Amino acid sequence: MYDKTLVVEILDQIIDAIEIVHERCAFAKCEDDFCHTKEGQEKLDSICMKLIAVGESLKKIDHITEKKLLLKYPQIEWKKIKGIRDFISHHYFDLDAEIILVFVKII
């Protein structure tokens, strides 16, 4: 059996991160709003960090629960959400705002 308190704590952190991502995206009317100002680029960088944290945290939950918890919710695209972390981490310099906003829509 796994530590449910720890899993709930991690889920709370994920929810907080997703809320922050949505707040930081709210100013943008299109992808260009992230690219044409220093503030927009900084928001994009901070959004990427939160998305990395979400993906990493879900992987941690999978590890803690021996991949049993997330399987109970197949309607959520867990693989894609966890893959966000890998994609951003390994292709950071190839990212653009459009790709990040696609990820944000998934979560």
Q: What is the pLDDT of residues 14-43, one digit of tens each?
A: 999 999 999 999 988 888 888 888 999 999
- The most distant pair of C-alpha atoms in the chain lies apart, rounded to whole Å, by 50
Q: pTM to 2 decimals?
A: 0.87
Based on the number of CB atoms within 10 Å of its own CB, is 61 exposed (0-12), middle (13-18) or buried (19 or more)? buried
CA nearest 53: which of 95, 22, 82?
82
State the pLDDT confidence band at 106, using cuts at 50, 70 and 90: confident
Based on the number of CB atoms within 10 Å of its own CB, is 83 exposed (0-12), middle (13-18) or buried (19 or more)? middle
Q: What is the pLDDT of residue 79?
A: 94
> Which of 26-35, 66-75, 85-94 has the highest average model confidence (pLDDT)?
66-75
State the pLDDT confidence band at 53, using cuts at 50, 70 and 90: very high
